[in-house]
Structure 1
Amino acid sequence: MVKIYLALTLLAVLSVAGCKAPGTPPTDDTLVTSEVNGVRLTHRYAVQPPQTFTPIDRAYRALYKASVMTRPDYSGKVVRYLENGKPFTALGMADGWLAVADTDGTELLGYVPQKAAVKSELYDATLRNDRPRPRKSSKKVCVDVGGEGKACRNGSTATWIIQ
């Protein structure tokens, strides 16, 4: 009986000894690698990999202070902000959003809306085209109206004013 008891105890100890302790769960800052459409993306665990990905790998500049999100939509969390006018690397298009990295970086930081940035070489032209155009000064057109009166047209509203 003692031999059976020792054999069962030894069997239990050996079966438990073969088990590994569960690994620690990843934190938001743990680096992970995902593969999307044949492209390997390295990113933090908090940043969700996209469903679709088209590589760009070009220098872009931010048009305004845009939020970098953890998901390629507005339901994600804000990871950081792009500084207005500062360059960054667009790794690719992810579900209609730009997947961004630091300048000369390869780690996916998150996603920004496509309208938040423009290719670096087009930045100056985009800003020039976005400025409001000065209005042309309108000439005051006046005509005589019987005797001493005259009527003048206001150029901005195209209405006539009798003076």
Structure 2
Amino acid sequence: MAQKLGNDVTCSVARTLDVVGDRWTLMIVREAMLGGATRFQDFRDALGIATNSLAKRLAMMVDEGLMERRTYREAGERPREEYVLTEAGRSLDLVIGALASWGRTYRPHPRGTSPRFEVEESSTVAQVAFVTSGGDRIPPGVLTAVRTEDRRLDDSA
């Protein structure tokens, strides 16, 4: 399942795609984030993914720190496992939001649905955007990407 993307292990995009680069991983994150899924059967029912594929991906996501496996037990039942997003997994909300925004724009569907992200306390709607350190929103068409060392990005914020 997981294969290294190219020879440049220094590239943050390649390192990220090594973990979340297949469609099922991001769909599992989506279901955990938007559908509240935590149980194996929840993911299987929502996604229609094969049992063996789901088991492999959930194990990988636990190993990579995207999800945490927790044991739960309902009254009269045997103990079972549930899968809960970690901070790393929850922080993929930006990725899910960006993919949804792109899909609405470039892959529209007459009955399409998309996640809407809101500030929990106020229900204020939030959007994915590039923002300067001064708070100005920048449209993607005027951006230039420049390969920069990670440590220099942290210092320039």
TM-score (norm 1): 0.18
Point out the structure with the larger helix share.
2
Instruction: Identify which of structures 1 and 2 has the higher relative contact order when contacts are C-alpha pairs closer than 8 Å and 6+ apart.
Output: 1
TM-score (norm 2): 0.19
Point out the structure with the larger strand share.
1
Between structure 1 and structure 2, the one with the greater Rg is: 1
